[in-house]
């Protein structure tokens, strides 16, 4: 049994020293907290100077805390950086709201997940050794997890947060619980044991991919599919070259596949979450075009003042209901006029994409992704220098 009323003032000195409780609504070290029969955990989404997720485990009267920049992942292959920060009082598990600008951690805090947890093995020894293993029982995070301290240390100890390969694990694109389309749907957080991960194509070796035939035709379907799996990108160490390759910027947003059957439009995230009600102006613009039997592939983004797409800004705009600033950058047309075009060379799909959107207004929530003509080595240098998200080849 864990007694949340027990506190360790010595472990909260750093917490107290960083805050002015006359200016911030965060609980002080003296704040009372309910007694818990089980050890609690909380994950708070924290839109400070940089968006991150605060991961907190109750232990010996405080909340041991880590800042996780990319948030937890359900894929055991993902090793998410978790920076150890100062302990927080147990009462902090209930905190959400705004920390004033100018105060430590200034920004908005949301309760993202909570529940109880149980240590696996001797947790106190694990803290000293730098390897914690524990079971979580939350709304979004369940099953067995690990925190492993790394040898590369900065001002604060760096750990890695990892999921065990158990019943709650998921692979590849399906593992992203931070996806704004699926983060608040706890039903999507569990995956049956033995289910297959999403297919991620391997990059071809020996230069550019071979087009099947410029004489290829699409495959006529009797009805437009109700759902469609996106083709996923594969991370590589260097740009593949110039001959036979085309390049586009990688956007920092939410991948959306839009099913367009005349004025009937549905927008679906790569994890199968229906975003139609969240992407209002994009849905209206696609419906106005009255595309016949089409699936449109693109990225939902919001651009910062420098014209760069920004996922954190996208989340912020959507939380505030500022949907007018949403844009869909369209880069592919897997289906059109009832034909399955996925087996055609990309160049042919691009021709049909241009034709389908020939009447696209110069301004509005829809735009076609630009193909960039440049030497690949020069291009990747420019992308890095401008701090852009990356390249798609």
Residues 285 and 367 grouped into a single domain: yes
Coil, strand or helix at 384: helix
Per-residue three-class SS string for 340-361: ECCCCCHHHHHHHHHHHCCCCC
- Is 201 within the bounds of a domain? no
Q: pLDDT class for 173, splitting at 50, 70, 90?
A: low
Residues 294 and 167 grouped into a single domain: no
- Of 100, 104, 101, which is closest to residue 19 (Cα–Cα)? 104
* 154 has a pLDDT exceeding 90: no
Distance CA 106, CA 4 (A): 26
* 206 has a pLDDT exceeding 60: no
Please report the pLDDT score of residue 210 as a whole number: 42
Contact 239, 379 (CB under 8 A): yes
Please report the pLDDT score of residue 155 as a whole number: 77
Pairing mode, strands 327-336 and 366-368:
parallel
Which residues are tagged catalytic?
250
| Burial letters 255-284, b for 16+ CB under 10 A, else e | bbbbbbbeeebbbbbbbebebeebbebbbe
Please report the pLDDT score of residue 185 as a whole number: 37
* 195 has a pLDDT exceeding 70: no
Residues 242 and 322 grouped into a single domain: yes
Please report the pLDDT score of residue 178 as a whole number: 66
Q: Which of 189, 211, 242 is the last residue of a domain?
A: 189
Residues 34 and 98 grouped into a single domain: yes
Please report the pLDDT score of residue 291 as a whole number: 93
Distance CA 150, CA 322 (A): 40
Q: Which of 141, 162, 189 is the last residue of a domain?
A: 189
- Is 128 within the bounds of a domain? yes
Structural domain count of the chain = 2
Per-residue pLDDT of 227-273, as tens digits, reads 898 888 888 888 888 888 889 989 988 899 999 999 999 999 887 88
- Is 210 within the bounds of a domain? no
Residues 27 and 89 grouped into a single domain: yes
Please report the pLDDT score of residue 240 as a whole number: 86
Contact 7, 62 (CB under 8 A): yes
Mean pLDDT of 51-68: 95
Per-residue pLDDT of 305-331, as tens digits, reads 888 888 888 888 887 888 999 999 999
Tokens of 269: 């995230």
- Is 1 within the bounds of a domain? no
Contact 295, 218 (CB under 8 A): no
Q: pLDDT class for 380, splitting at 50, 70, 90?
A: confident
- Of 99, 97, 69, 72, which is closest to residue 83 (Cα–Cα)? 69
Higher pLDDT, 178 or 179: 178
- Is 64 within the bounds of a domain? yes
Please report the pLDDT score of residue 264 as a whole number: 93
Q: pLDDT class for 200, splitting at 50, 70, 90?
A: very low
Please report the pLDDT score of residue 234 as a whole number: 84
Mean pLDDT of 341-352: 92
Higher pLDDT, 9 or 115: 115
Please report the pLDDT score of residue 379 as a whole number: 85
Residues 24 and 173 grouped into a single domain: yes
Q: Which of 137, 160, 189 is the last residue of a domain?
A: 189
Tokens of 223: 């009805």
Per-residue pLDDT of 347-365, as tens digits, reads 899 999 999 998 888 789 9
* 184 has a pLDDT exceeding 60: no
Distance CA 147, CA 220 (A): 51
Question: What CATH number is given to the structural domain containing 331?
Answer: 3.30.470.30
- Is 185 within the bounds of a domain? yes
Residue with tokens 């232990």: 59
- Is 270 within the bounds of a domain? yes
- Of 170, 183, 190, which is closest to residue 77 (Cα–Cα)? 170
Q: pLDDT class for 81, splitting at 50, 70, 90?
A: very high
- Is 315 within the bounds of a domain? yes
Please report the pLDDT score of residue 63 as a whole number: 96
Residues 140 and 239 grouped into a single domain: no
Residues 22 and 155 grouped into a single domain: yes
- % of the chain beyond a pLDDT of 90: 49
A 10 A CB-CB count for 291 gives 23
Contact 62, 11 (CB under 8 A): yes
Residues 283 and 359 grouped into a single domain: yes
- Of 80, 85, 95, 81, which is closest to residue 31 (Cα–Cα)? 95
Which residues, at least 6 apart from 200, have a Cβ–Cβ distance to it below 8 Å? 172, 173, 232, 234
Residues 250 and 333 grouped into a single domain: yes
Mean pLDDT of 365-369: 93
Please report the pLDDT score of residue 382 as a whole number: 85
Mean pLDDT of 12-19: 93
Residue 159 belongs to domain spanning: 9-189
Residues 182 and 232 grouped into a single domain: no
HSE-up of 17 (CA within 13 Å, CB side)? 8
Mean pLDDT of 134-156: 88
Residues 95 and 181 grouped into a single domain: yes
Higher pLDDT, 217 or 242: 242
Q: pLDDT class for 38, splitting at 50, 70, 90?
A: very high
* 179 has a pLDDT exceeding 80: no
Which residues, at least 6 apart from 387, have a Cβ–Cβ distance to it below 8 Å? 308
The mean pLDDT of the chain is 83
Please report the pLDDT score of residue 318 as a whole number: 82
- % of the chain beyond a pLDDT of 70: 84
Which residues, at least 6 apart from 7, have a Cβ–Cβ distance to it below 8 Å? 29, 61, 62, 89, 90
Kindly tell me the sign of the dihedral angle through the C-alpha atoms of 42, 69, 161, 130.
negative
Which residues, at least 6 apart from 334, have a Cβ–Cβ distance to it below 8 Å? 228, 257, 295, 297, 340, 341, 342, 349
């Amino acid at each position: 049994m864990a007694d949340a009323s027990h506190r360790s003032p010595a472990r909260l000195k750093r917490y107290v020293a960083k805050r002015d409780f006359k200016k911030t609504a965060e609980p002080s070290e003296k704040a009372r907290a309910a007694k818990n029969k089980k050890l609690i955990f909380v994950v708070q989404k924290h839109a400070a100077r940089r968006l991150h997720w605060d991961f907190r485990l109750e232990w010996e009267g405080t909340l041991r805390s880590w800042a996780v920049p990319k948030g937890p992942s359900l894929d055991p292959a993902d090793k998410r950086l978790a920076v150890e920060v100062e302990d927080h009082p147990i009462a902090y598990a209930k905190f959400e709201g705004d920390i004033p600008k100018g105060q430590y951690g200034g920004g908005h805090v949301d309760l993202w997940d909570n529940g109880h947890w149980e240590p696996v093995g001797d947790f106190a020894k694990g803290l000293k050794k730098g390897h914690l293993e524990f079971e979580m029982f939350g709304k979004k995070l369940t099953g067995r997890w690990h925190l492993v301290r790394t040898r590369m240390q900065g001002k604060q100890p760096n750990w890695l947060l990892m999921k065990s390969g158990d019943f709650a694990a998921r692979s590849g694109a399906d593992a992203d619980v931070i996806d704004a389309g699926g983060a608040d749907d706890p039903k999507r957080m569990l995956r049956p044991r033995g289910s297959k991960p999403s297919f991620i194509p391997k990059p071809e070796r020996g230069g550019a991919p071979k087009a099947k035939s410029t004489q290829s035709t699409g495959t006529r379907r009797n009805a437009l599919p109700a759902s469609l799996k996106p083709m996923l990108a594969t991370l590589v160490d260097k740009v593949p070259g110039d001959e036979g390759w085309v390049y586009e910027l990688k956007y920092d947003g939410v991948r959306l596949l839009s099913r367009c059957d005349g004025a009937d439009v549905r927008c679906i995230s790569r994890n199968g979450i229906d975003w139609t009600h969240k992407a209002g102006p994009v849905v209206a613009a696609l419906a106005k075009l009255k595309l016949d039997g089409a699936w449109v592939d693109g990225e939902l983004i919001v651009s910062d003042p420098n014209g760069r797409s920004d996922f954190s800004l996208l989340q912020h705009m959507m939380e505030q209901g500022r949907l007018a600033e949403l844009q869909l950058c369209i880069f592919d047309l897997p289906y059109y006029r009832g034909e399955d075009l996925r087996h055609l060379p990309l160049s042919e799909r691009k021709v049909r994409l241009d034709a389908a959107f020939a009447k696209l207004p110069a301004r509005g929530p829809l735009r076609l992704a630009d193909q960039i003509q440049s030497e690949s080595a020069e291009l990747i240098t420019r992308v890095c220098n401008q701090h852009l998200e990356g390249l798609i080849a």
